[in-house]
Amino acid sequence: MRFRLLLFTAALTSIGGAGASLAQDVENGRRLSERWCIECHDIGTARTKSSRVIPFPAIANKPGITSEMIATFLLMPHATMPNMPLTRKDADDLAAFIMNTRQ
């Protein structure tokens, strides 16, 4: 029983360490948003072309919203959004950028 507890603790520690090394890159998220999102969303930069849909700051300021929720949303297909070939890392970076626009 102790051995199982030790293995479980070691697994949790290694998972936590891996998460820290895969930190979100807000700058990459900004670049991705300028590539994929700026045509429709106000991304909070001067280069915004249109604001037909919800602006990034409004998304970030929704009560209870988290980066994880945004990243998961971005990885799911949606009829109103283009099919973006995002990796999980890209989705995490883009979500971090969106959360960074919080006012």
**What residues contact 60, with CB distance under 8 A and at least 6 apart?**
98, 99, 100, 101, 102, 103
| pLDDT in single tens digits along all 103 residues of the chain | 443 433 344 444 444 434 433 568 999 999 999 998 988 888 886 555 555 688 999 999 999 999 999 999 999 988 888 888 899 999 999 999 999 999 8
Provide the pLDDT for residue 40.
Answer: 85
Structural domain spans, the chain: 24-100
- The predicted structure's pLDDT at residue 79: 82
- Alpha-carbon distance of 84 to 36, in angstroms, equals 7
CATH class given for the domain over 24-100: mainly alpha
Say how far apart CA 56 and CA 16 lie, in whole Å: 29
Q: What is the value of pTM for the model shown?
A: 0.72
Question: Are 7 and 15 spatial neighbours (Cβ–Cβ below 8 Å)?
Answer: no
Determine the residue type at 49: K
